[in-house]
Amino acid sequence: MFDFDALSNAIVRQTVLCVGDLMLDEFVYGEISRISPEAPAPVIAVRRSEINVGGAGNVARNIAALGAHCIFVGLVGADDAGEKLRAALSGENLIEPLLVSDPARPTTRKVRFVSEHFSTHMLRADWEATVPASGLVEQALIDTILPLLPRADIVLLSDYAKGVLTARVIRNVIDAARKLGKRVIVDPKSANFAIYRGATLLTPNQKEFAEATRSRADDEANLATAARDVMLLADSEALLVTQSERGMTLVPREGDVIHVPAYPVKVRDVTGAGDTVAAMLAVALAAGADWETALRTASAAAAVAVSKSGTAIVTLAELRHRILPHASLAAEEKIARSADDLDERVSKWREQGLRIGFTNGCFDILHPGHVKVLTGARAACDRLIVGLNSDNSVKRLKGEERPIQDERARAGVLAALEAVDLVVIFEEDTPLKLIEQIQPSVLVKGGDYTLKQVVGHEIVTARGGEVVLIDVLQGFSTTSLVKRAGGTG
């Protein structure tokens, strides 16, 4: 897994250059209770309306909401919608907008009429020109973009096929970025992926991918074969296919295919979810994340976005809550009630494709040494289960005067830690039986153990899992703390 806090701290130091089709998104919400007497059409009684920055502008807003700096280049017309977009983007602290004006075309504007009672889009009205930008406007875009490249940590092209990302603009930007060693992510619209030649990563959805490759891509093997053919044509390092509720699959030019399942979530509105995914990928990769980490954070960000209404943005705080949901639970909810309860939770996490980690101990008096091991353990997995010796088990291991705190108190303290997703009390002297039940992918202990001393290492490694040893913090132990306090140890 990964250290969410370390990634977050790295993200806020990144600058993303985002180029693409800007649009004004308007949502008109109301109730429908009758049919118009003038025509067989529903009448919506408008209650409220919202105006948002959409298209590539929503990508920029998501980049900024995640804490990174975004330099944004887009195209607007000389009209009221264009002025609204200029004003909205200028008011965003972390967005630096450089908008090229084309008086010959309208600013792209989309108005959606939504029934609040049924949570259904009833109608969408579009004002737009989808023809490519003229030669003069193309040159103005290129002249604006290229001097910005040295300031960017990564480049993101958000193509909505509204005329900004012409073949000439794309070619100039990708070639210049590659010369400077900058990675380029493309959220493509054209079915001819060859025009994005040289991009680091292409992120089509399943429909776009099927059209571009003329393949069904109905399973991982077929998808991987078609993706690698496309990558040869597009000279890209990887291709990511987003598949809505089926999750997302990344095919790298070299290495194994990575599939990340979608988070289970009640979908309210999918508008702009692809923008959120592109933004999250850009900031995570710019911050140094590997492919799997970038995908997992993007999947979590998409889950947050689709649970909101309208053109939504996702913040780091919301992302943290989605990735570390058990941190928000009451401590008692993070203590397994029975073996069946443990099996049910583990089964659900496995269905979600989550990597389960395990560590164990007495944790009689929680100290900084414990916290370091637990934090390190959580960074190595998606969900961390902590096996806790029962009171009787501790007495057998440590003597009649121990534990200082009973098992429920110790479990409650552990469960209150953000790093811990589940606490399981076990009666045996070792957690071997518990490890056999859980079958974790990662087994973690302090570095004062050797691999062969770690109980259950054979079980985990036999299934392709790994054993992680965390360097211990010297000078801390429960026994020494008890002696210092005048106890018996």
pLDDT digits (tens, 9 = 90+) for 343-397: 989 998 888 888 899 999 999 888 888 888 898 888 888 899 999 999 999 999 9
The pLDDT-based confidence of 326 (bands split at 50, 70, 90) is: low
Q: Residue 164 gets which letter from DSSP?
A: S
CATH code 3.40.1190.20 region(s) in the chain:
4-323
**Helix ranges, 235-389 (H):** 273-286, 291-306, 316-323, 339-351, 368-379
pLDDT at residue 449, as a whole number:
80
Condensed to tens digits (0 to 9), the pLDDT of residues 413-423 reads 999 888 899 99
Tokens of 63: 């980049």
Q: What span, in angstroms and rounded, lies between the C-alpha atoms of 385 and 346?
A: 9
Per-residue b or e along 417-456, where b marks 16 or more CB atoms closer than 10 Å to that residue's CB: bebbbbbbbbeeeebeebbeebebbbbbbbeeeeeeebbb
Segment holding 334, helix H or strand E:
none
φ, ψ of residue 355 to 5 degrees: the values are -90, 120
Query: What average pLDDT does the chain have?
Result: 89
* For the ranges 198-212, 242-256, 438-452, the one whose mean pLDDT is highest: 198-212
pLDDT of the residue at 194? 93
Specify the higher pLDDT residue, 220 or 61: 61
Kindly report, residue by residue over 192-243, the tens digit of the pLDDT. Answer: 999 999 999 999 988 899 888 888 777 778 888 889 988 988 999 999 999 8
Torsion angle in degrees (nearest 10) through CA of 267, 271, 272, 276: 0
CA angle 242, 247, 248 (to 5 degrees): 40
Mean pLDDT lowest among 195-204, 241-250, 293-302, 328-337: 328-337
Q: What's at 206, amino acid-wise?
A: Q
Q: How many residues does the chain have?
A: 489
Average pLDDT on 43-56 reads: 91
Q: Is the pLDDT of residue 145 over 70?
A: yes
Q: Average the pLDDT over each of 111-115, 189-193, 368-372, 473-477 and give the range with the smallest value.
A: 473-477
Query: Residue 452: its pLDDT value, please?
Result: 84
pLDDT confidence of residue 327:
53
Give the least confident one: 35-49, 139-153, 376-390, 460-474. Answer: 460-474
Burial class (CB in 10 A: 0-12, 13-18, 19+), 73: buried
pLDDT band for 2, please (50, 70, 90 cuts). Answer: low
What is the b/e burial string over 281-294, where b = at least 16 CB atoms within 10 angstroms of the residue's CB? bbbbbbbebebbbb
- pLDDT, position 488: 44
Token pair, residue 80, equals 């009221």
Burial, 7: exposed, middle or buried (Cβ in 10 Å; 0-12, 13-18, 19+)? buried
CA–CA dist 129, 152 (Å, integer):
30
Catalytic site residue 275?
yes
CATH 3.40.50.620 intervals, the chain: 327-484
Determine the average pLDDT of the residues in 419-443.
93
Positive or negative, the CA dihedral 2, 66, 95, 110 is positive
Tokens of 404: 């200082």
What CATH number is given for 327-484 in this structure? 3.40.50.620
CA 416, CA 411: separation in Å to the nearest integer?
9
pLDDT tier at 267, thresholds 50, 70, 90: confident
How far apart are the C-alpha atoms of 465 and 459, rounded to whole Å?
9
Mean pLDDT of 112-128: 84
pLDDT value for 431: 94
| DSSP 8-state code for residue 417 | S
The region that residue 423 occupies, defined by phi over 0 for left and psi between -120 and 50 for alpha, beta otherwise, is: beta
* Residue the block writes with tokens 């118009």: 36
CATH of domain 4-323: 3.40.1190.20
pTM, rounded to two decimals: 0.70
Considering 275, 364, 382, 421, which one is annotated as catalytic?
275
Report the alpha-carbon angle 48-51-57, nearest 5. Answer: 155
